[in-house]
Structure 1
Amino acid sequence: MMRDKLSTAMKDAMKAKEARRLSTVRLIQTAIKDRDIANRGAGKDPVSDDDILQILQKMIKQREESAKIYTEGGRAELADQELAEIEIIRDFLPEQLSDEKMREIIAGIIEETGAQGLRDMGKCIGLLKDRYAGQMDFAKASGMVKDMLK
């Protein structure tokens, strides 16, 4: 399903002559293809939609770091390019959960798993990743889980 959405987005960007969107969608498809090839070499199936969501989140994180470095280095035009790509990539992600909703979900996961302390943190994060891939920032969620388990 995500692959179809990306393919359609690429065709639409070509028709509309949106160069930035086209190049960003191509970068996404290349990252997916690279992961497919790596999986094939390891004897695994092609990437799933959940894997694609993780790839997109990783791409956003990389671009955020690059934009920060470019801004600190006085290269505003390159930082703007990275930020524009982030916005395009975000179009393919499901709507992100609010901090309040994340706390609510995390509290439910902690209760469900019976987590008692920080040693149970991995179990909670694993469930969150299974159920909410692409819907939350897991770095932020990890901090919230840690605070709640103290």
Structure 2
Amino acid sequence: MAAIKDRLKQELVAALKSHDEARKSTVRMALAAIANEEVAGKAAKELTDAEEQTVLARESAKRKDSAEAYTAGNRPELAAKELAEAAILAEFLPQQLTEAELAAIVAEEVAAVTAALGAPPTMRQMGQVMKGVTPRIAGRGDGKTAAALVKAALS
């Protein structure tokens, strides 16, 4: 357990030795986010690899959202910094699904819901489809993109 946390600690040591400020601060931030998650709740616990991936995916998504906001606010230098941090975090996450792979998963889940209902699902059953899609893409795909693909499939 905690293989990602161990890798992050090794990367931090390497970044400190190489004086790579951007990598050092990003890895420290990731370790802090994992530590915060470990002590959140009623009792401290050690996170599993899947939970650590979830934390890193959340942090990466925050960086991408911030980059979009900075770009919209005409601050390209800050957007570039956020995207660089997201790229560093992506090194510790599993390979992301392509749009085609995500579309295939959505199509399979729409077919499963169709079989369960006996009729093609409508927008009212979007929650049922997303309930099947979400665990299959956890940590490997973007929920916003999946939701957009489900909406397109149901409309």
Q: 2:40 aligns with which of 14, 20, 38?
A: 38
Q: 2:18 aligns with which of 8, 16, 19?
A: 16
Q: Tell me the TM-score normalized by structure 2.
A: 0.80
CA apart distance, 1:54: 2.5
Listed as ranges, the gaps of 5+ residues in structure 2 are none
Q: Larger deviation: 111-120 or 88-97?
A: 111-120
CA apart distance, 1:19: 1.4
> Contact between 2:39 and 2:45, CA under 8 Å: does it hold in 1?
no
> Contact between 2:66 and 2:79, CA under 8 Å: does it hold in 1?
yes
**Aligned partners of 2:97, 2:148: CA distance in 1, in Å?**
15
Q: Tell me the TM-score normalized by structure 1.
A: 0.82
Listed as ranges, the gaps of 5+ residues in structure 1 are none
Cα displacement string for residues 53-101 of structure 1 (whole angstroms, at most 9, x for unaligned residues): 2322222222223223333444332222112111111111111111111
Share of identical aligned residues, percent? Answer: 32
Provide the residue aligned with 2:90 in structure 1.
90
**Aligned partners of 1:74, 1:140: CA distance in 2, in Å?**
25
CA distance 1:68–1:107, shift in 2 (3 Å): closer
Q: Larger deviation: 25-34 or 55-64?
A: 55-64
> Contact between 1:53 and 1:133, CA under 8 Å: does it hold in 2?
no
SS in 2 for 1:59: helix
CA distance 1:9–1:122, shift in 2 (3 Å): farther
Which amino acid letter does the alignment assign opposite residue 38 of structure 2?
Answer: D
**Aligned partners of 2:76, 2:61: CA distance in 1, in Å?**
18
Which amino acid letter does the alignment assign opposite residue 29 of structure 1?
Answer: L
Which amino acid letter does the alignment assign opposite residue 100 of structure 1?
Answer: A
Q: 1:27 aligns with which of 29, 39, 44?
A: 29
**Aligned partners of 1:51, 1:121: CA distance in 2, in Å?**
26
CA apart distance, 1:45: 4.5
